[in-house]
Amino acid sequence: MPNYILYLSIIVPSVVLSLGFALYYFQEKLIFHPEKLSSKFVFNFDSEFEELNYTTPDGNVLNALHFKVKNPKGLIFYLHGNAGNLDYWGNRAFDFLKLGYDVLMFDYRGFGKSTGSIRNEKMIYEDALLIYKIWTSKFTENQIVVFGISLGTGIATRLAHENNPKILILETPYFNFFDVSKFHYPYLPTSILLHYQFKNNKFLPEIHIPIYIFHGTEDETIPFNSSVRLSKLNKKISFFPIEHGSHSNLNSFELYQVKLNEILE
């Protein structure tokens, strides 16, 4: 056997095994990319807002921002992506404020001023549900729009599945987490190694409220085809492809703003 073939036969399995080990034991670090903020950090936005904190049953604190308008039509319950913190995501509130909606968004555990760390999928959902239930005492569910972007689409979809908001809006959703992990790590058995499932494809067919999906055709983080496949799972789904849109810039496109206005009018 030539030396280079022998070398490859040893090196390639070793690399794959090492990557698999890293995915299994350090997947939270691969999936979540939080940016911490000091507890003394002062948010600064042009819009009126209030900073809030919610305590979880296990004693952690979830930091949230409530953006306000006068006489709101309803509330956008916003589930953000897997990186950054509210200092970044808060700027997205303007897309909804100008349409007459209040916006509530919170940082997941370990993000921004929120304490603790994410250990499993159930934990993220229960945190979101805790805050969602609090806000159903301030807005009726037929006034609440659940909005998820990227990572947040899995949380948003499950919330809409197990509750009864008015509308579900998903921006750059994945088919499920196995699917998107396979896209990024095609040579690893992610269906065995991955703890996180976020099965949008399981929950979407069983949701009975209007569902709207936005996805850019040039998305290199979550494949555009993910939304194409999801859009076929439920007749309640309206799908808006954004030509030339990437993963993080859809709100800069006129079509996105026009359709969002039509949905929330």
Q: Max CA-CA distance within the chain? A: 77
Of 53-67, 170-184, 201-215, minimum mean pLDDT range: 170-184
Q: Tally Cβ neighbours within 10 Å of residue 41.
A: 15
- How many other CB atoms are there within 10 angstroms of residue 3's CB atom? 7
At 230 the pLDDT is 98
Higher pLDDT, 3 or 265: 265
| Average pLDDT value over all residues in the chain | 91
Quick one: pLDDT at residue 256?
98
What would the mean pLDDT of 184-194 be, rounded to a whole number? 62
- In CATH, the architecture of 32-264 is 3-Layer(aba) Sandwich (3.40)
Indicate if the pLDDT at residue 17 is higher than 50: no
The predicted pLDDT at position 14 comes to: 45
- Residue closest to 78 by CA, chosen among 150, 132, 148: 148
Does 30 or 45 have the greater pLDDT score?
45
Least confident of 18-22, 181-185, 203-207: 18-22
The reply to whether the predicted model has a pTM over 0.75 is yes
Give the mean model confidence (pLDDT) for residues 88-102: 98
Structure-derived torsion over alpha carbons of residues 146, 149, 155, 161, reported in degrees to the nearest 10: 50
Structure tokens at 159: 């919330």
Could you give the percent of the chain with pLDDT greater than 90?
80
Q: What is the per-residue pLDDT across 137-184, written as a single tens digit (0 to 9) for each?
A: 999 999 999 999 999 999 999 999 999 999 999 999 999 988 887 877
| 15: confidence class by pLDDT, cuts 50, 70, 90 | very low
Residue type for position 64 = A
Domain positions in the chain are 32-264
Q: Tens digit of pLDDT for each residue in 103-125?
A: 999 999 999 999 999 999 999 99
